[in-house]
Structure 1
Amino acid sequence: MKSIGGLMLLLGLGSFVLHFMNMEFKLLSWVDHWGADVGVGIRIALVVVGGILWFLGNKREKAVPAS
């Protein structure tokens, strides 16, 4: 869960930065097909959901004793 969340967080933040430089990740090139506002919403959702998954995965990793 931590790795998927980290990837989503990285792609969402990177997509924000690249969008303002008139570039885009090929994997996320579809987000602006429904309009700029929907694209921003999808990027925000990626960052928020990715951050939550990363945080929960990090918390779970610390809770499980190392064996």
Structure 2
Amino acid sequence: MFKRKILKEFEKWMNGGGKKKALVVKGMCQIGKTFSVLEFARSHYKACSLCELQGKRQRP
């Protein structure tokens, strides 16, 4: 399996120090966002929670 570039960004977030904010990952459909988050969590934490928020955006 190849290493995704986004994993380096996740590591920067994790090692940023100070109080952590929620990690929000946005992007196009079917590009591996969920897979990348779960892969990162499995390799860096004992447990993780994944909350997927999907819905239609309302245009003003």
Q: Same fold (TM over 0.5)?
A: no
More helix by share: 1
TM-score (ref. length: structure 2) = 0.29
Higher relative contact order (CA 8 A, sep 6+): 1
**Whose Rg is larger?**
1
TM-score (ref. length: structure 1) = 0.26
